[in-house]
Amino acid sequence: MTESVSPVPTTPRMALEDGVATLTLNRPAHRNRLEDADLHALMQAFDRFNADPQVRVVVITANTTGQPRPVFCAGYHIGDFDGPQHDPAMFERVADALANLRAVTVCALNGSVYGGATDLALACDLRIALAGIELRMPATALGLHYYPSGLQRYVARLGISGAKRAFLTARPFSAQQLMALGALEEIAPTPEALQASVRQLTSEIGALAPLALQTTKQSLNEISSGRYELAAMRERERLTAASQDFAEGRLAFQEKRSPRFRGE
């Protein structure tokens, strides 16, 4: 069931339909900044998605209602850094949890993205952006050395040159520059085109074999981080080769029809 999104500032809203879970950042009047309550809500949502085998794709987007220039997220709320409940490691844990979700993740960048929120976008497996958006990491402009896993994701997604440009100049990246670096799947000319592209992409992902999809994502993440074990990857290979999904995929190919995967 799809849940409506109100322009009134709240924690992220969640909707689930046909195996696609959508998380919508929902503080449009504050450029969708992330407060501590939002980080806890995101972690709870991630736990729910991991526990639900029906969730095969997760989309993260934002409510930009009433914004003169759309902003997906302005990053972590600076005012919360001095709050009594502030946990300095919480943001990193959220980004890491997003990167390690069982489901395939898609960031629908329907506005510009700044600060820590850039790591949430990079933590997703795939990104589609609205034309005209920008991505900017101002950590060094604020006097901050960024957390290690975020630096690793920047290097993995943008390459060492792109990561150095982001952190050592604090200059923004345009959508075209991100596309040239391979960080975007597509640039959509309008919000409507963005929504259509996201629907198409999630539909295509949802048609793939779940077990092979999830184990392959896990292996690719491990290779990217340099912490993979060949034996574990061989076991995943063996598991999928013996799966009902692989048998169904071969049969469907022979019968020239769409496969009916069950994730087994």
Q: What is the pLDDT of residues 45-66, one digit of tens each?
A: 999 999 999 999 999 999 999 9
Q: Which two tokens stand for residue 3?
A: 């849940």
Range(s) of the chain covered by CATH 3.90.226.10: 13-206
Task: Look at residue 5 and tell me whether its pLDDT is greater than 50.
Answer: no
**pLDDT value at residue 4:** 44
pLDDT in tens, 62-102: 999 999 999 999 999 876 555 666 677 899 999 999 999 99
Cβ neighbours of residue 32 under 8 Å, at least 6 residues apart? 25, 26, 62, 63, 64, 71, 72, 73, 74, 111, 117
**pLDDT value at residue 84:** 62
**pLDDT value at residue 226:** 87
Task: Look at residue 35 and tell me whether its pLDDT is greater than 50.
Answer: yes
CATH of range 13-206; options 3.90.226.10, 3.30.390.10, 3.40.50.620, 3.10.310.30: 3.90.226.10
**pLDDT value at residue 6:** 47
DSSP state of 35: P
Q: In which region does residue 186 sit, left (phi positive, over 0), alpha (psi from -120 to 50) or beta (all else)?
A: beta
Residue 88, number of CB atoms within 10 A of its CB: 8
The rounded Cα 135 to chain-centroid distance in angstroms is 14
